[in-house]
């Protein structure tokens, strides 16, 4: 359902990704790990069509999104939700307007229905009752959870999580991990989780990919990672990567 083929991406003169291939099946839940600055967020943006690769193909449900016109790309994007690393909320909109943004702007749902969905998503991320707050009134972890509520507002088939648990206390972190698994199990959401957090990888991922030297190493599982033939995987699971 998500297929990246022979991706190359650089910014100015700096090569970030090269010869990168990745296939993710429908309903799969994978983690992507790797040192800071190696290109994990860039990879998620490529899948979402927010960046274009210099060369290579990004196919979503068999459709190559690279040559698509903006209108068609927007349609494909509706299948996907992205939780940005920074939260990336709209500063001038309150929490409920942020969460309901796509429902209003892209799906044109009636306000009553939007309110119902927004409340339901806020409950899922344990932020009920905070709908009227402005993003600037929220802590980093709270902003992250609102970003998650926004990413899942339109019930996407694919959800891309960029550091979903970073900056959350251990209990909230576990709750978000449980939510990621629940969305995957109950709704079959295909999930790509970029994270540095070992607990998140072990709790949620079926497969783990490490980004190194501009491409992905062959995947491990939460069981196989301890005895990987690749030192980088073993190093990571023993206590995090050097960055």
Ligand X SMILES: Nc1ncnc2c1ncn2[C@@H]1O[C@H](COP(=O)(O)OP(=O)(O)OP(=O)(O)O)[C@@H](O)[C@H]1O
Q: Which residues here bind Mg ion, judged by CB under 5 A?
A: 41, 85
In terms of Cα–Cα distance, which of 41, 5, 52, 20 is closest to 161? 41
Calpha distance 11→230 (Å, rounded): 28
Return the number of the residue (36 or 70) whose C-beta is nearest ligand X: 36
* Helices 140-151, 170-187: inter-axial angle, 10-degree rounding: 0
Nearest residue (beta carbon) to Mg ion: 41
User: Which listed option, ligand X, Mg ion, none, makes contact with residue 165 (CB within 5 to 8 Å by class)?
Assistant: none
User: Which listed option, ligand X, Mg ion, none, makes contact with residue 226 (CB within 5 to 8 Å by class)?
Assistant: none
Return the number of the residue (36 or 136) whose C-beta is nearest ligand X: 36
In terms of Cα–Cα distance, which of 128, 109, 106, 107 is closest to 119? 128
In terms of Cα–Cα distance, which of 15, 83, 21 is closest to 48? 83
Which position among 6, 11, 63, 224 is part of the footprint of ligand X (CB under 6 A)?
A: 11
37 counts as binding ligand X under rule CB under 6 A: yes
36 counts as binding ligand X under rule CB under 6 A: yes
Q: What would the two tokens of residue 137 be?
A: 């009134």
Q: What would the two tokens of residue 3 be?
A: 């297929």
What DSSP letter does each residue of 139-207 carry, written as one string? -HHHHHHHHHHHHTTT--SEEEEESTTTT--HHHHHHHHHHHHHHHHHH--EEEEE-S-HHHHHHH-SE
Residues 59-88 that bind ligand X (CB under 6 A): 85
Which position among 2, 16, 22, 48 is part of the footprint of ligand X (CB under 6 A)?
A: 16
Rounded to a whole number of angstroms, the minimum distance from the CB of residue 194 to Mg ion is 6
Rounded to a whole number of angstroms, the minimum distance from the CB of residue 111 to ligand X is 35
- 32-40, 54-62, 95-103, 198-206 -> range binding ligand X (CB under 6 A): 32-40
Return the number of the residue (27 or 230) whose C-beta is nearest ligand X: 230
Query: Total residues at the site for ligand X (CB under 6 A)?
Result: 11
The footprint of ligand X (CB under 6 A) covers 11, 16, 34, 36-42, 85
């Amino acid at each position: 359902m998500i297929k990246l083929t022979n991706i190359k991406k650089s910014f100015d003169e700096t090569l970030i990704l090269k010869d990168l291939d990745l296939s993710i099946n429908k309903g799969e839940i994978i983690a992507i790990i790797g040192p800071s600055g190696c290109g994990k967020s860039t990879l998620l943006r490529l899948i979402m069509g927010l960046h274009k690769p210099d060369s290579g193909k990004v196919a979503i449900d068999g459709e190559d999104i690279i040559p698509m016109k903006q209108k068609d790309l927007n349609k494909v994007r509706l299948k996907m939700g992205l939780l940005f690393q920074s939260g990336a909320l709209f500063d001038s909109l309150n929490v409920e307007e942020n969460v309901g943004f796509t429902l209003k702007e892209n799906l044109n749902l009636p306000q009553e229905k939007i309110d119902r969905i927004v409340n339901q998503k806020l409950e899922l991320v344990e932020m009920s009752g905070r709908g009227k707050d402005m993003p600037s009134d929220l802590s980093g972890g709270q902003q992250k959870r609102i970003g998650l509520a926004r990413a899942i507002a339109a019930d996407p088939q694919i959800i891309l999580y960029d550091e979903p648990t970073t900056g959350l206390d251990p209990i909230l972190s576990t709750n978000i991990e449980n939510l990621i698994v629940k969305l995957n199990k109950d709704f079959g959401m295909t999930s790509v989780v970029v994270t540095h957090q070992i607990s998140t990888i072990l709790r949620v991922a079926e497969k783990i990919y490490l980004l190194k030297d501009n491409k992905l190493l062959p995947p491990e599982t939460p069981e196989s990672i301890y005895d990987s033939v690749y030192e980088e995987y073993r190093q990571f699971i023993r206590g995090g990567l050097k960055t």
